[in-house]
């Protein structure tokens, strides 16, 4: 698999983790970090939805990684993202 595809797959897995955690915990919806997580994810989606297809994979990784960290507080899961660059 190409490096870009690997990076996108890892981003996708982080996003799935975030969705599962946010849907399973009611208290997350009441916290301030909830808004921040949504903000980071919406920025990542906005970048990926550029009609010209010109997006920054680094930016998307950063935003999804930050959202993931805000929920799980675990940098260990984010280290593979940095190794593939």
Residue 85 confidence class, pLDDT cut points 50, 70, 90: very low
Q: Is 21 exposed, middle or buried (0-12, 13-18, 19+ CB in 10 A)?
A: middle
Q: Where are the domains of the chain?
A: 1-72
Which residue is listed with tokens 């994979």?
57
Residue 78 confidence class, pLDDT cut points 50, 70, 90: low
pLDDT tens per residue across span 41-59: 998 998 888 888 888 888 9
Residue 30 confidence class, pLDDT cut points 50, 70, 90: low
pTM: 0.72
**Rounded CA gap, 29 and 26, in Å?**
6
Residue 70 pLDDT more than 70?
Answer: yes
């Amino acid at each position: 698999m190409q490096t870009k595809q690997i990076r996108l797959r890892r981003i996708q897995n982080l996003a799935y983790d975030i969705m599962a955690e946010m849907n399973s915990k009611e208290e997350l919806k009441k916290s301030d970090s909830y808004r921040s997580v949504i903000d980071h994810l919406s920025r990542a989606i906005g970048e990926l939805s550029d009609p010209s297809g010109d997006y920054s994979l680094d930016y998307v990784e950063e935003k999804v990684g930050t959202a993931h960290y805000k929920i799980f507080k675990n940098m260990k899961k984010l280290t593979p993202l940095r190794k593939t660059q």
